[in-house]
Structure 1
Amino acid sequence: MNRSRIAPTVIVTLAALYFLVPLVATLEFSMRMVRGTYSLKAYQVVFADPRFQATFSFSVIAALCTIVIGALLVVPTAYWIRLKFPRLRGLVEFITLLPLVVPPIVLVFGYLRIYNSSSWLPFTATIAGTNVLLVFGYAVLSLPYMYRAVDTGMGAIDIRTLTEAAESLGASRRTILMRVILPNVRAAILSGAFLTFAIVIGEFVLASLLNRPAFGPYLQLVGANRAYEPAALAMIAFAITWACMGFLQLFGSGVPGRRLGSTILRFGKRGR
């Protein structure tokens, strides 16, 4: 048994070193802005930069709007597909996976072609319209992750039984979706939300070609003109991504099946 554990241990160790050594080297380099000593000067410069604050705030707001749009679009769709149109599930899954096949640069050029200032829908003629277009583009890019997360969460519960039980107690479809289905797929929605947040924070192509002050283009701009600040920004972006994964594990660890009995019992009491 000891011999059988040697090979997996070696493989895991080599894989960990493959990822950790560049990370540690980047962290060490980011702390050498002051010659001859380690300091957090590069991080201080980054956090004091008004462009960092503006671009990060812009991307956070765009990410929150994308999460809301994605949840409003995906949750009812996944619910109706599983409840009423199971035969269309394969087609919907194929459509939601298209953003992984179509490059973002093709998507944004299509947007600019259709919604330019000379179009009958001049979305890009104003700053607000361009921001809306950017958020819609982010929603498309995050659609595979949001849909798969929500669809997997709904697959873990009995949608039909919950719906029939709630309808027998007098609940409307809107009430069923908001007060029965959503609480049981909360973990799945949070999983898709944190993945969406991580994607939007680091996205470059859409924001750059639409000329919006997002965090991704700011990372590229600093990386092309500075030495130590890009390493600090890389560590900050890495920390944000891992924070999203940590929140996903912290808040998204609920088991949907545990809420089935309490949900039906609550509606049963109200029905009486």
Structure 2
Amino acid sequence: MKQSRFWAWVVFGVGAAYFLVPLIATFEFSLRMRRGYYSFDSYASVFADPKFQATFTYSAVIGLLSIIVGILIVVPAVYFVRLRMAWLRPYVEFLTLLPLIIPAIILVYGYIRLYNSSSIIPFTGSATGTDILLTFAYVTLALPYMYRAVDTGMRTIDVQTLTEAAQIAGANTPQIIARIILPNILVAVLSGAFLTFAIVIGEFTIASLLNRPAFGPYLQNIGANRAYEPAALAIISFIITWGAMSMINLLSRFAPPHFCPDGLTHGPLP
């Protein structure tokens, strides 16, 4: 038993070092902008850059819109597939895997070809239209992760029983999805939302080819023209990522309990 624990700790230590050593080295390098001693000048330079604030805000807004659109599409789709069309599940899973197979550059060239200014729907003819196109492109790009997160959450509840109990209580389909199904898979939806946000924040190809002021192209531009600021941006991105993961863990502790079918039969839903 002691021998097994020893090798388990060895494997854990090697794995932790694999991730932590590059992170520590990056952080140490980001502090060496001023010669002779450590300082946070690179971080001050990043936060003082107006483009950092503008691009991060833009990507954050697009990320939130992508999350909302993704939830509105994926949650009802998974619900109906599991409830009424189980035979469609293999085909839906295959379709949601396509964004992992098709490179982002092919995806965005297809969008530009289909929705350019001379097409029937000229999304690329204005900034707002291009933002809408970028949002749907990110929804497509994050579809494999959002779908699997929601599908995993949907497996943990009895969709059939909850739906029948809610229908007896007088609820319609939108009420069932919004007030019964969604609260029960909230943690899974948050996991998919976090993955979507992470994809949007770091994505470069689509935003660059659509010429949008996103955070990904800004990171690439800084990395190509400066030395210490890219290391600082890498640490900042890491902190944002782990902050979002911590929020997911925190919210999962306060997630509402599963709705009991007996509790739904006491009266109609408002």
Do these two structures clear the TM 0.5 threshold for a shared fold by scoring above it?
A: yes
For structure 1, the 5+ residue unaligned runs are: none
CA distance in 2, matches of 1:246, 1:158: 28
Instruction: Identify the residue that residue 260 of structure 1 maps to in structure 2.
Output: 259
Instruction: Identify the residue that residue 94 of structure 1 maps to in structure 2.
Output: 94
CA distance in 1, matches of 2:252, 2:124: 37
- The alpha-carbon deviation at position 254 of structure 1 amounts to 6.2
Q: What letter matches 2:258 in structure 1?
A: R
Instruction: Identify the residue that residue 269 of structure 1 maps to in structure 2.
Output: 266
- The alpha-carbon deviation at position 260 of structure 1 amounts to 2.4
Question: What CA RMSD, in Å, does the superposition of the two structures yield over aligned residues?
Answer: 1.5
Instruction: Identify the residue that residue 53 of structure 1 maps to in structure 2.
Output: 53
Instruction: Identify the residue that residue 237 of structure 1 maps to in structure 2.
Output: 237
Aligned residues of 2:168 and 2:265 also touching (Cα < 8 A) = no
Q: What letter matches 1:248 in structure 2?
A: I
Aligned residues of 1:30 and 1:229 also touching (Cα < 8 A) = yes
Q: What letter matches 1:196 in structure 2?
A: T
CA distance in 1, matches of 2:203, 2:232: 18
CA distance in 1, matches of 2:96, 2:252: 22
What is the TM-score normalised by the length of structure 2?
0.95
Instruction: Identify the residue that residue 182 of structure 2 maps to in structure 1.
Output: 182
What is the TM-score normalised by the length of structure 1?
0.95
CA distance in 1, matches of 2:159, 2:254: 17
Aligned residues of 2:34 and 2:41 also touching (Cα < 8 A) = yes
Instruction: Identify the residue that residue 222 of structure 1 maps to in structure 2.
Output: 222
- Helix, strand or coil at the partner of 2:236: helix
Aligned residues of 1:153 and 1:185 also touching (Cα < 8 A) = yes
Equivalences, count: 269
Q: What letter matches 1:241 in structure 2?
A: T
CA distance in 2, matches of 1:33, 1:106: 39
Please show how residues 1-272 of structure 1 align to structure 2 within 5 Å: 1-253=1-253, 258-261=257-260, 264-265=262-263, 267-271=264-268
CA distance in 2, matches of 1:141, 1:250: 27
Aligned residues of 1:58 and 1:215 also touching (Cα < 8 A) = yes
For structure 2, the 5+ residue unaligned runs are: none
Q: What letter matches 2:129 in structure 1?
A: G
- Could you report, residue by residue, the CA deviation over 1:87-126 in whole angstroms, capped at 9, with x for unpaired residues? 1011101111111111111100111111112222221111
- Could you report, residue by residue, the CA deviation over 1:230-271 in whole angstroms, capped at 9, with x for unpaired residues? 100011111111112212222135677x4222x641x33324
Aligned residues of 2:202 and 2:215 also touching (Cα < 8 A) = yes
Q: Which moved more, 1:210-219 or 1:30-39?
A: 30-39
- The alpha-carbon deviation at position 5 of structure 1 amounts to 2.1
